[in-house]
Structure 1
Amino acid sequence: MKNKNIITIETSLGRIFITIIKNNQIFSKSCNSPGSIEQELNLLIDELMIKADLEYSKIDLILVSLGPGSFTGIRIGISAAKAIAVCTGAKIFGFSNFDSIYSQFLINKENFISKNIGIIIKGPGNDFFKKEIINNKPKKKNYLITSQELISEKYNKNIFFVGNFINTFKIKNYFFCLPEKKGYFKLANKVKENFKKIKFDEPMPIYIKEHYAKKK
């Protein structure tokens, strides 16, 4: 799948972030803390389509965030992706915010080496979503952890934490990271490379309910 037109939609990390990849050029627009995600999303997509000089009918692939993160944002992003797919016939690929944050992290910290990485995403209330990546391989299970559990791990020198929130907990070995256009470009290229192997299922939100303590 070469030189295809791709749009990525992320609406679940407390912002809206849209990219269009056209002939390997990257265009992006974002909006932090939007008042109305649905209205702002439609406006941003229209503005970015004009900026990229791209018609909706020319979109070949849609990448949309499935979460975890804002439940409202996830649902709106998926709905927008489906609407575009209906109009264009484009395929939809759902990705996790864990993957996009980790993809961006590998760009920002190109020569970084760590056997144990914890991707942490701010959740509802005092909860956080967590995924562990061991030797560059993500574990299958995702968990919810409380702020107290996060604080209890902050001195763990064996884990390098990567998250989308400001480090008010003073966690050592912490790196703030939000996906940007280069991270989404890398993610999109990975999808393109494996396009024939991918099963494009109905995009479903990632809901994480199991608490980390239950695995012990």
Structure 2
Amino acid sequence: MTCEKGSMNKYRVNMMNFSESVKMEGKSKQKETEKRRCSEGPGGAGSREVVKKKRKLQDGVSPVRRNEKGELVFKEQNYKDVWKELPEDWLGGLDIAKQVASSTYRKDVNTYKVKCGGSLEMWESSGWIVPQDPYGWFQWYCRFHQGRRTDDDERQVGRWAKCTGPKGRWRNNLITKIVRSGCAFHNCTVSPVVRQTLQHWAYRLTKQDYDMGAKRVKLK
């Protein structure tokens, strides 16, 4: 899907505000977790649970599968046409079959006309997919933006921050490339793949973010 610049900035502000509140909640939860780990000891229930999760991933077990028609299924629930839950004004002017619901990856519909990211199967096998949002972070984000709140919000906001926050991997990767190229921050010929990756995480580099990050870049 595509977004107008104003909408993208609005989404980003919402995420940043929520990220701050989640940090405060996360600190208290972290303290509780540390106390529990101390009481359990190295061989406690927490340690056993981690081992179980690792074994599950190593075995390649995924709670999400495709049925004989190639449709995504979880616990016998069919997730075909999930896009229909999106607000109508988000879909205005889009070719649904090509730009929203296509089973074929089409880089030409991407903002920067490049391919990036891994397959759904890769995300599933990495253990990043949870039952409530079988299509991953973007599905979680669309639902979050519409007002839904769940216990998975803290994890998902954390993933977003690690990618696009002030210390985010891909945000700073792009800033570094721009600085070393000598081009303007909005010159899309500089790393369109990274720009598309950031777009998938509901972020576009702004002049303010660029100026702040550029100060930390060391020229070769």
Larger helix share, 1 or 2: 2
Report TM bin, short chain: under 0.3
Larger strand share, 1 or 2: 1
Please identify the structure whose Cα radius of gyration is greater: 2
Instruction: Report the TM-score, using the length of structure 1 for normalisation.
Output: 0.22
Instruction: Report the TM-score, using the length of structure 2 for normalisation.
Output: 0.22
